[in-house]
Amino acid sequence: MDAHLTAYQRWASFEQIDPDLKAELRTITDEREIEDRFYRHLEFGTAGMRGIIGAGTNRMNLYTVRRATEGLARYIRSQNKREKGVVIAYDSRHMSRQFAEAACGVLAAHGIKSWLFAELRPTPMLSFAVRHLHAAAGIMITASHNPPAYNGYKVYGEDGGQISSSTAAQILQQIAAVEDELRVPFLSYAEGENQGLIEQLGEEIDQVYVKQVLSLSRNPEKVRQMADHMQIVYTPLHGTGNKPVRRVLAELGFSQVAVVPEQELPDPNFSTVTSPNPEEHQAFVMALELARQSNADLVLGTDPDADRVGMVVRTAQGDYQILNGNQTGALLLAYLLEHAAATGSLPENGVILKTIVTSDLGRAIAASYGVETVETLTGFKYIAEKIANYEQTGERQFLFGYEESYGYLIGTFVRDKDAVQAALLLCEMAAYYKSKGKRLDQVLQALYQQFGYFVDDLLSFTFKGKEGQQQMAKLMTRLRQEPLTRIAGYPVVSVLDYAQGRDGLPPSDVLKFILEDGSWLAIRPSGTEPKIKFYLSSLAQEEDRAHEKLQQMKRFALELVE
C-alpha cells in the first residue's frame, strides 16, 4: 500500500482522534485529496510551518502542532534549557487558541513551563516577551496574512528572533524522530495549570512593551502640537493590532484616530476582505471610504498578527495614494536619518539593514547621510541575526531595518518586524511634516527627484501541490543552466545566484539579474507558500521612463513563467 494510504488508514482507525477531524476524515474519498493530505508531514522550514487547517499529516491540526512541539521540547531539553520555559502567543485565526493550548500541553508533559498570553497578541509582542522573560523559546500561532483557511506555527529563539537555519535543522531532526504524531504525550490545560507549568500572561507585559514603543518617539512635542489636527484612519483587518496600535497612538497624544468599525474586532474569516493583507489594495477599500468622509491625512492597516503595516497618504488633489512597502520604508528611513542628523545623534558606525529584494532607494538615502547599508536574505530573522551580531561585536550600530513586504523595525527590544512601532512612527512622521506644511506624497517626490525614480513591483505565481513544487524547481534549474542575458531588451550585466551563498550570506534559492542602469529582477520561490515571486525594480531619472521600463519588465516576467 502507498505510504499516503497507510498514513490515512492510521488516522482513520485511531479511536481517540479529535471528533471534528474524525468527521472530516469520513468525507475524504478522492484519492488525489488523500494523497495531498498525507503524502508528507507539513513542512517545518526555517520559519516554522504554515498550512491549511484540516485532517492529515500535511495540514495544520492538533496532531501536527503536537508533533512540532514535541520536537521543540526535545531540542530544549537537549540544550539543558528546560528551566527557562517558552512563551506562546496566538492571533485571531481559526483554531489559534486551541493550537496554543496544545503546544502548552506537550511542553508541560516534558516539565517545561509555558507562559501563554491570556488573549490574542501581535507577533512582535511575542518576540518582546521572549526577551523580557529570558525564555528558551517562543511559539507564535499565526499564518500572518494568508487566507482564512490557513494557520501556522512560528518558533522564536531566546534572543526573540525567529530561529536560525541551524537551530531549525536541529529541531527538525527532533521532529523527524517523533514516531507517531497521534500519540504524542501531553497534559490537559487544566493539569498543566494545576502543576504550575502553564501561566497566563496579561497586562504586565503589555505595559512594559508599550513603554518601550513610546520611547522610540523622535518628536513628541511636534505630536502634541499637531495631535488635534492629524486625522488618522486605522484598520486592524480583524487581527491583533487593534488594542496595541490604538493604545500607543493615544498615549503619544494622537486624539483623532478613527478605526474602521466593520474591521475592528477579531474575525477568523476576515469576512470584509478578500485577503487580510495590507500589501493588497483591496484591503483598504473600507478604510478609504472612512478616510474620504473625514478628509484623513493618513490611513494605516496592519495584518492579522500585526507585524506588517501598510500606509495610504492624502495627495494635493484630496485623493489618496496607496504606498508600497519600499516607499513607506524609504520615507521612514529618511525621517529617522533627518532627525538623527539634525540632533547630532547620528553615530559614525550606524547601519541600515534591508533584504536583497528591497528597493535600493533606501541605500541611496542612507549613503547621502554617510550611513552604510547591509543586505540580508529575505526574511526578517536575518535582520535580527545581524542586529545580534552587531551587539556582540560592537562593529555597527543598528538604526533601522526593513523589507519590501511591509515589515519595519526601529527599536531592538523586538527582534522581528513590528507594525506597532512602525504605526507610531509613521503617524509621528506625518505630523512632523504636516507641521512644516508638507504632505508625505510631496516628501516622497522630493526623495525621487534627489535620488532617481525607483519604481518597484512584485509578481506572484501560485503553483499548487506536489506538481507545483516540481514546476517551480524546474524553472529555477532552467534559469541557472541558461541565465538571462537580456530582460525586455535591456542587457543583463550581472547575475547573482544565492544558491551556494554569497557576500557572506547563507545559501538561498534566489536569482537576481542586474541591468546596467541599476534596475533589476529577482526570482525567489517562497519558503512558506506554494508560490514563486518575481521582484522588479526599475530605475530612471524621469518618472514616466521608470514606469514604462517597469511595465516592459513585467511583460517579460509573465512570458518567462508562461
Q: What is the 3-state secondary structure (H, E, C) of 414-467?
A: CCCCCHHHHHHHHHHHHHHHHHCCCCHHHHHHHHHHHHCEEEEEEEEEECCHHH
My answer on whether 406 and 500 are in the same domain is: no
My answer on whether 145 and 294 are in the same domain is: no
Confidence of residue 528 (pLDDT cuts 50, 70, 90): low
CATH number at residue 355: 3.40.120.10
The boundaries of the domain holding residue 30 are 3-202
Assess if residue 212 is contained within a domain. Answer: no
Mean confidence (pLDDT) of the chain:
96
My answer on whether 397 and 268 are in the same domain is: yes
My answer on whether 375 and 269 are in the same domain is: yes
My answer on whether 434 and 459 are in the same domain is: no
**Mean pLDDT, residues 96-110 taken together:** 98
CA distance 12 to 17: 8
Among residues 96, 114, 127, 144, the one annotated as catalytic is 144
CA distance 500 to 497: 7
CA distance 518 to 493: 9
Range of weakest confidence among 84-93, 282-291, 338-347, 459-468 = 459-468
Last residue of a domain, one of 451, 467, 490: 451
pLDDT of residue 272: 97
Burial 28-61 (b: 16+ CB within 10 A, else e): beeeeebbbbbbebbebebbbbbbbbbbbbbbbb
- The predicted model scores a pTM of 0.95
Confidence of residue 139 (pLDDT cuts 50, 70, 90): very high
CA distance 36 to 53: 13
pLDDT at 469 over 90: no
Last residue of a domain, one of 167, 202, 237: 202
Assess if residue 220 is contained within a domain. Answer: no
Assess if residue 377 is contained within a domain. Answer: yes
Assess if residue 224 is contained within a domain. Answer: no
**Mean pLDDT, residues 230-235 taken together:** 98
pLDDT at 466 over 80: no
CA distance 192 to 115: 11
Confidence of residue 468 (pLDDT cuts 50, 70, 90): confident
My answer on whether 464 and 445 are in the same domain is: no
pLDDT at 75 over 70: yes
pLDDT at 427 over 80: yes
Confidence of residue 156 (pLDDT cuts 50, 70, 90): very high
CA distance 335 to 449: 16
**Mean pLDDT, residues 398-417 taken together:** 98
57: left (phi over 0), alpha (psi -120 to 50) or beta: alpha
My answer on whether 233 and 177 are in the same domain is: no
Assess if residue 219 is contained within a domain. Answer: no
pLDDT of residue 465: 73
**Mean pLDDT, residues 106-130 taken together:** 98
Element (H, E) at 246: helix 242-252
My answer on whether 390 and 268 are in the same domain is: yes
CB within 8 Å of 12: residues ≥ 6 apart: 25, 26
My answer on whether 98 and 167 are in the same domain is: yes
Confidence of residue 49 (pLDDT cuts 50, 70, 90): very high
Confidence of residue 529 (pLDDT cuts 50, 70, 90): low
CATH number at residue 484: 3.30.310.50
H, E, C per residue of 279-315: CCHHHHHHHHHHHHHHCCCEEEEECCCCCCEEEEEEC
Assess if residue 261 is contained within a domain. Answer: yes
Cell numbers placing 195:
502543576
CA distance 498 to 379: 14
**Mean pLDDT, residues 1-13 taken together:** 92
Last residue of a domain, one of 432, 451, 470: 451
Assess if residue 221 is contained within a domain. Answer: no
Assess if residue 316 is contained within a domain. Answer: yes
Question: How many domains, the chain?
Answer: 3
My answer on whether 368 and 382 are in the same domain is: yes
Whether 13 sits among the annotated catalytic residues: the reply is no
pLDDT in tens, 542-553: 999 999 999 999
My answer on whether 24 and 144 are in the same domain is: yes
My answer on whether 496 and 413 are in the same domain is: no
CB within 8 Å of 298: residues ≥ 6 apart: 230, 231, 232, 233, 311, 312, 313, 314, 426, 427, 430, 440
